[in-house]
Structure 1
Amino acid sequence: MSGSAWAAVSPCTAACVTDDPPQAKAGRAVTARRYAGFLATLAGAAAAGDRLGEPAELRARAGSLLADLGVGLSCPSDGLAVPVAGAGTGTLVVANHISWLDVLALLAAQPATLLAKREVGQWPLVGTLVRRAGTRFIDREGLRGLPETVRELGALLRAGESVIVFPEGTTWCSVPGGQFRRATFQAALDAGAPVRPVTVSYARHGVPTTLPAYVGAGTFAASLRRVAATRGLTVRLTPHPALDPRGHDRRSLAALAHAAVSDARQAGPAPRTPGPHSRASAAGPDEAFGLLGGRPGRRDGQETHPMTAV
């Protein structure tokens, strides 16, 4: 059985994903308008060129894409970064990963540099957008470039730029998901930057739902269709108290962040037990370079999605 240290695997399948009955879905006209708006905003973002890397532009485009699909966003109005006195550092924002919508929600709340797997940059149109937005890519099939990636993230944090990562390494159907891999936490330690854990959760008409989950063998097109046809869908970002990296190593810092994100009592409408795989996977020993957490084995031959971020 082959694998790589970055190829995290979730046991979640399409069976975890709920969907509305036909009579509860948005009408064809509404769905068509959502598609049209979404595609128009994507085209406009692509045409924006390098301006997409500007915080205000990125935040506006990401928010517009959510609105185009009829997805509400609940998040703090002052963003997710941690204010630091003086010149200060950026914030390492770490979140659980459920859907491709997570990326839009987080960027709409806090324009930042996103760390994503290499395949995301190769997608037509979407890949162009994330590249122009300044996304950093990592090859999760190999470890050779990992130390340099960590150093690069540390430099960004020291320069005052915030960074968004998904330490689970792949998507899960709900909260809590998999354990947090420790590699990116080293960047916060090196830069002396605060870590902001954020819980991403979804609700439909106020009721927790797994409908937006992008897991198993499902395709991006199918997920997009499901989201566009849904009424009353909201993504909620729940930021938790910032973690000071001083006095911690990457293991303890990752564990604290994971515990905060997984705390359903703080996560508001986050699903507690909507899917059969809402549990943490076991973590193994350190991998090469001493930067990675455990490597969960593949289950049922599942692979990670090319649209998911690290």
Structure 2
Amino acid sequence: MNRAVPLPPLSPWLPTAPCTPGRRCAAHPDAAADPGSARAAFRPAPAPLACARLAAGLATVLLGVVLLPAAGPLPAAGRLALVRLWARAVVRAFGVRFVVTGARPPARRPELVVANHVSWLDIPLVAAVLPGRMIAKREVRGWPVLGALAALGGTLFIDRDGLRRLPGAVREVAAALEAGGRVTAFPEGSTWCGRAGGRFRPALFQAAVDTGSDVQPVRIDYRPHGAAGYVGEDALGASLWRVVRTPGLTAEVRILDPISVIRYPNRRLLAAAAQQAVHPAPVPRQAVPNAYRAVASDSANRPFSSVHQRSASKPASASSARTPS
């Protein structure tokens, strides 16, 4: 595979990941390219089967576009049940098996669901287990079909291209939580290949602090490793084809113990605790220590206007600008 040219980050403060298709972070083994290696045991699904999976998956997604408006008059519980069924159907139609471990929390109080981010598959996987309102970047709203589907599903679109707009995004998330709903976010801010994970950005955790909502961490793992990855400048079509051609692709969704804002009443502490739950040690260097050291000087409990006062992040060479969150 040729090494892909990384796209420049949209803004120097945006989170980025070093994972790229060129580093084989998102590539299944290619037996034809290296027949003498252990990868030669890999046998991709036949092209007709892969095409059938691709067609079935896309048809199931389109079915959601058609049926979602009809679900509007239903009570909230009924809508969530339909979303759960549809999301499961989407995952299975693309030929992906999934298992769920851990106890599903009772839907008795608002919660902010946070998960690691590996693939576009993460979205239907989380929705199949813990359906709720997703947080996505503003660009997703303009995507063909998927953008309209996301909007109909109540997705909260946020503008990541400037710090000034983030307080407004936090207010939107807080309003959704105050309404008694469940909101899902991917606080790494970018997709990672799964072999490594990013630091959980603390900004959106302020919504949980302000509303007293619990944080529900979730970890997603894929086997075989790498086939589901959607990183860097990876094209959506290439990722879809990789998924449908990988035999036995399995996703595991682990529901971890909920985290209370009573124990971690600060957005940085809350983000660090969620990161440690999803990415047990070793975690990205200095991520947790910095979060704890910053508590003494943190201004997390100030009004929204000061939520995002922090130093800019260093730019990276690659950005997951196309990932759906």
Q: TM-score, normalised by structure 2?
A: 0.80
Q: Match of 1:104?
A: 124
Q: Which has the larger radius of gyration?
A: 2
Cα deviation for residue 108 of structure 1 reads 0.8
Moved more, 162-171 or 232-241: 232-241
Rounded to whole Å, the distance in 2 between the matches of 1:115 and 1:134 is 9
Show structure 2 runs of 5+ residues with no match: 1-7, 32-41, 73-78, 300-304
The match for 2:212 is 192
Q: Deviations over 1:283-309 (max 9, x none)?
A: 798898333766432322x22232331
Stretches of structure 1 lacking an aligned partner (at least 5 in a row): 265-271, 273-277
Count of equivalent residues: 287
Q: What is residue 251 of structure 2 aligned with on the other side?
A: 235
1:7 aligns to 2:30 (yes or no): no
The offset of 1:2, in angstroms, is 7.4
Whether 1:37 and 2:56 are equivalent positions in the alignment is yes
Please state if 1:117 is matched with 2:137: yes
Q: What's the CA shift for 1:32?
A: 1.4
Question: Structure 1 residues 78, 262: closer, same or farther in 2, change over 3 A?
Answer: closer
Matching of residues 208-287 of structure 1 within 5 Å: 209-247=225-263, 248-263=265-280, 279=284
Distance 1:17 1:299, change over 3 A: same
Cα offset, 1:52, TM superposition: 5.8
Change (3 A) 1:77 1:279: closer
Moved more, 3-12 or 58-67: 3-12
Partner residue of 1:127 out of 128, 144, 147: 147
Partners of 1:182 and 1:292 within 8 A in 2: no
Q: Assess if the C-alpha contact under 8 Å between 1:116 and 1:135 holds in 2.
A: yes
Provide the secondary structure at the position in 2 that maps to 1:48. Answer: helix
Residue 98 (structure 2) aligns with: 73
Identity of aligned residues (%): 36
1:71-114, CA deviations, whole angstroms, 9 ceiling, x for partnerless residues? 011115864x4554xxxx31110111011100110011111000
CA contact (8 A) 1:9 1:297 kept: no
User: Which secondary structure does the structure 2 equivalent of 1:255 belong to?
Assistant: helix
Amino acid at match of 1:214: Y
Q: Which residue matches 1:268?
A: none
- 2:9/2:316 contact within 8 Å kept: no
TM-score by length of 1: 0.84
Report the 3-state secondary structure (helix = DSSP H, G, I; strand = E; otherwise coil) of the residue aligned with 1:163: strand
Deviation at 1:142, TM superposition (A): 1.7
Output the CA distance in 1 between the equivalents of 2:71 and 2:284: 37
2: CA distance between counterparts of 1:143 and 1:5?
Answer: 11
SS of the residue aligned with 2:164?
coil
Distance 1:2 1:200 in 2: 25
RMSD of aligned Cα (Å): 2.7
**Deviation larger for 195-204 or 175-184:** 175-184
Aligned-residue offset at 1:50: 2.2
2:69 matched residue in structure 1: 50
Q: CA deviation at 1:232?
A: 0.6
Q: 1:163 aligns with which of 169, 183, 194?
A: 183
